[in-house]
């Protein structure tokens, strides 16, 4: 709402209709046809003085206006007369008379001097006394306002209050503006004024209203469709402020998007109903915008300029774009301690890594199998696993993981390391011999598939591995054994150490004796 002094001095905008509308829509032949590309000025309002008034208006801040043309009609819009131009708001008209009705409208000018369509006409009915709060603003977000007063030259005193009966309001010396503090609490505020001339005659009361709005808050936030969504999908946002305030703006922030998403309650951009207090917006995400667990927030700025706290959407946005599986080729190469694998290259836009898994049995999963490596270069499609043992069988699969933490599993492949006989140890010459015991020592076996040492003894040359061993040792680093209960005076004893690998293959050492 714009300047709206009441009773004795009244400024107001009327949505023109009927016969008067027809008059106001007429454009004199001498006027150049307006350019529809030039935005219309809006929110035209006025502050009226004695035999003069000041026009105020708003215009699109993103358009490069070169100025504004001001038109007035003295006969209810039958004829419009251009009374001047202004580079911007405001514009003063000092050629009016009290007690008459005037109509005004504003047209924007482009840099070439062409005029756009005019604003909605403003009807001004002038009389001697008026009060206007903040020059006719509809809203304020502060209790401190300015009262603009108009009165005759004979006026000497004035009193004003929010009490319609002016109870307790004292007469003070008249001046054209006063600072005033509105009563606490949001809502519509009305200030009443009364004037007194030098002869002691009091005027009728005049009044003006303004909406005090000192806070903004968001009541609910939703978006659809629910997560997960595909990259490039269209989202519909709906934000409702506390009290379903209209006339404001909502700014939605989505990390990584680079710009705020703006929602209004004006029937545009996906808003389904004008002025219902719900701010809606349809927004198509860029195809290259991807992410998971995205925390979206919104801020509401109401018509009075109050800004709400940043409010989080109750659910986070997740996106889905499952990758395609790659093909794991047959084993490229294997040795006793390594297996080399190759797979096809992923072409998925959101590629993040190849995760190579290994297991001893088929049926590889990301939760139960061993992660061998994670390769983040999409061209890295060859890998050698060196953490394997000789003569063992292993199962492999490659998972393609994307930037949305989704994965696709390749086929499985069985691979085996080469298997050779274990390296034989060397049994040392006996160095510690007693009447009934000997101590054997030997070299260490360092094969990756080492399983155990078995020590065998016989009373004749040619010791084999039949029968029960004198000792079984599974620690490769224990390369000694004390053999007791011998009768060295009566017998000669012969010894060998057999090395076994995990596949059951064996090798024997040299033979030593107590002879």
| Residues 268-306: tens digit of each pLDDT | 999 999 999 999 999 999 999 999 999 999 999 998 899
Give the largest Cα separation in the chain, rounded: 154
- Residue with more model confidence, 153 or 361: 361
The pLDDT value recorded for residue 409 is 98
Exposure of 493 in the CB half-sphere (CA atoms within 13 A): 25
Q: What is the mean pLDDT of residues 355-365?
A: 97
CA-CA distance, 454 to 190, in Å (whole number)? 106
356: left (phi over 0), alpha (psi -120 to 50) or beta: beta
Residue 20 has pLDDT above 80, yes or no: no
Encoding tokens for residue 318? 């997740």
Judge contact between 499 and 425, C-beta under 8 A.
Answer: yes
> Which one is the CATH code of 10-125: 3.90.280.10, 1.20.1250.20, 2.60.40.10, 1.10.287.40?
2.60.40.10
Instruction: Give the pLDDT confidence score for residue 126 in this predicted structure.
Output: 66
Window from 12-21, 126-135, 265-274 with minimum mean pLDDT: 12-21
pLDDT mean across residues, the chain: 89
- What's the rounded Cα separation, in Å, for the pair 92 and 48? 10
Residue 26 has pLDDT above 70, yes or no: no
Asked if the model's pLDDT at residue 107 lies above 50, the reply is: yes
Between β-strands 261-263 and 279-284, what pairing exists: parallel, antiparallel or unpaired? unpaired
Confidence of residue 14 (pLDDT cuts 50, 70, 90): very low
pLDDT at 515: 85
Residue 158 CA to residue 197 CA, distance in Å, equals: 9
Alpha-carbon distance 52 to 100, whole Å? Answer: 12
Give the CATH number of domain 130-212; options: 3.40.50.150, 2.40.170.20, 3.40.50.2300, 2.60.40.10. 2.60.40.10
d(CA 24, CA 16) in angstroms, rounded, equals 8
* CATH match of 218-312 with 2.60.40: yes
Q: Of the candidates 92, 116, 94, 95, which has an alpha carbon nearest to the alpha carbon of residue 106? A: 116
Q: Is 21 helix (H, G, I), strand (E, B) or coil?
A: helix
Domain boundaries along the sequence of the chain: 10-125, 130-212, 218-312, 333-416, 432-513
- How many whole angstroms separate alpha carbon 279 and alpha carbon 270? 9
Please name the residue that has the structure tokens 């009915």.
Answer: 125
Instruction: Find, among 30, 31, 55, the residue nearest to 45 by Cα.
Output: 55
253 has which bridge partners?
297
pLDDT in tens, 157-173: 999 999 999 999 999 99
Lowest mean pLDDT among 309-318, 425-434, 479-488: 425-434
pLDDT of 475 over the 80 cut: yes
Beta-carbon contacts of residue 209 (< 8 Å; ≥ 6 apart): 1, 4, 133, 188, 189, 190, 191
pLDDT for the residue 33: 63
Taking a C-beta distance cutoff of 8 angstroms, is the pair 459, 494 a contact? yes
Q: What is the pLDDT of residue 104?
A: 94
Name the CATH code of domain 333-416 (choices 1.10.10.10, 2.40.50.140, 2.60.40.10, 3.40.50.300).
2.60.40.10
Question: What is the mean predicted confidence (pLDDT) over 33-62?
Answer: 84
In terms of pTM, does the model score above 0.75?
no
197, pLDDT greater than 90: no
Interval 61-83: pLDDT, tens? 999 999 999 999 988 878 999 99
Residue 385 pLDDT: 97
């Amino acid at each position: 709402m714009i300047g709206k002094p009441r009773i004795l001095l009244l400024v107001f905008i009327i949505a023109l209709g009927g016969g008067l509308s027809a008059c106001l829509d007429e454009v004199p032949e001498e006027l150049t046809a307006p350019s529809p590309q030039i935005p219309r000025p809006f929110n035209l309002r006025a502050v009226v003085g004695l035999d003069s008034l000041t026009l105020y208006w708003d215009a699109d801040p993103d358009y490069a206006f070169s100025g504004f043309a001001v038109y007035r009609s003295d006969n209810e819009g039958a004829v419009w007369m251009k009374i001047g131009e202004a580079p911007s708001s405001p514009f003063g008209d000092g050629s009016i008379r009290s007690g008459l009705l005037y109509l005004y409208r504003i047209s924007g000018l482009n840099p070439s001097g062409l005029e756009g369509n005019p604003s909605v006409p403003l009807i001004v009915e002038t009389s001697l006394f008026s009060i206007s709060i903040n020059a006719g603003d509809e809203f304020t977000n502060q209790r401190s306002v300015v009262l603009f007063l108009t009165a005759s030259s004979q006026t000497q005193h004035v009193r004003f209050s929010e009490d319609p009966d002016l109870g307790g309001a004292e007469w003070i010396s008249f001046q054209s503006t006063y600072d005033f503090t509105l009563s606490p609490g949001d809502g519509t505020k009305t200030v009443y004024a009364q004037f007194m001339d030098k002869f002691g005659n009091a005027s009728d009361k005049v009044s003006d209203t303004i909406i005090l709005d000192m806070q903004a808050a968001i009541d609910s936030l939703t978006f659809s469709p629910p997560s997960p969504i595909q990259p490039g999908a269209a989202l519909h946002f709906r934000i409702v402020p506390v009290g379903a305030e209209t006339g404001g703006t909502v700014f939605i922030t989505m990390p990584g998007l680079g710009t705020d998403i703006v929602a209004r309650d004006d029937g545009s951009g996906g808003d389904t109903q004008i002025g219902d207090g719900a701010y809606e917006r349809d927004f198509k995400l860029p195809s290259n915008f991807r992410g998971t667990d995205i925390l979206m927030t919104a801020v509401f700025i109401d018509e009075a300029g109050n800004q709400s706290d940043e409010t989080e959407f109750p659910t986070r946005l997740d996106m889905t774009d499952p990758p395609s599986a790659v093909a794991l080729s047959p084993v490229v190469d294997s040795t006793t301690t390594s297996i080399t694998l190759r797979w096809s290259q992923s072409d998925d836009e959101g590629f993040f890594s190849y995760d190579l898994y290994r297991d001893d049995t088929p049926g590889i999963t990301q939760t139960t199998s061993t992660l061998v490596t994670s390769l983040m270069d999409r061209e890295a499609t060859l890998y050698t696993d060196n953490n394997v043992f000789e003569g063992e069988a292993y199962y492999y699969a490659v998972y393609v993981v994307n930037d949305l933490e989704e994965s696709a599993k390749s086929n499985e492949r069985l691979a085996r390391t080469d298997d050779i006989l274990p390296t034989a140890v060397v049994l040392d010459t006996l160095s510690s011999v007693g009447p009934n015991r000997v101590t054997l020592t030997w070299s260490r076996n360092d094969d990756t598939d080492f399983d155990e040492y078995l020590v065998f003894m016989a009373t004749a040359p040619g010791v084999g591995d039949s029968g029960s061993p004198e000792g079984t040792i599974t620690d490769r680093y224990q390369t000694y054994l004390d053999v007791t209960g011998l009768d060295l005076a009566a017998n000669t004893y012969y010894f060998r150490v057999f090395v076994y690998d995990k596949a059951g293959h064996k090798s024997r050492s040299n033979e030593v004796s107590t002879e």
